[in-house]
Amino acid sequence: MTATGKEPHNGDKGGKKDKNKGQKQKATKQEQEEKKKQDKQRRALRERNRTMADFEAMIRLHREFLKDSIRTKFDFARTDQNRGVRPPPVEKPYPPGR
pLDDT band for position 86 (cuts 50, 70, 90): very high
Spell 19-51 as b/e; 16+ CB within 10 A means b.
eeeeeeeeeeeeeeeeeeeeeeeeeeeeeeeee
- Under 8 Å between Cβ of 21 and 14: no
pLDDT band for position 14 (cuts 50, 70, 90): low
Instruction: Count the Cβ atoms, other than its own, within 10 Å of residue 2.
Output: 11
What is the reported pTM? Answer: 0.29
Residue 9 has pLDDT above 60, yes or no: no
Residue 30 to residue 70: CA distance in whole angstroms = 61
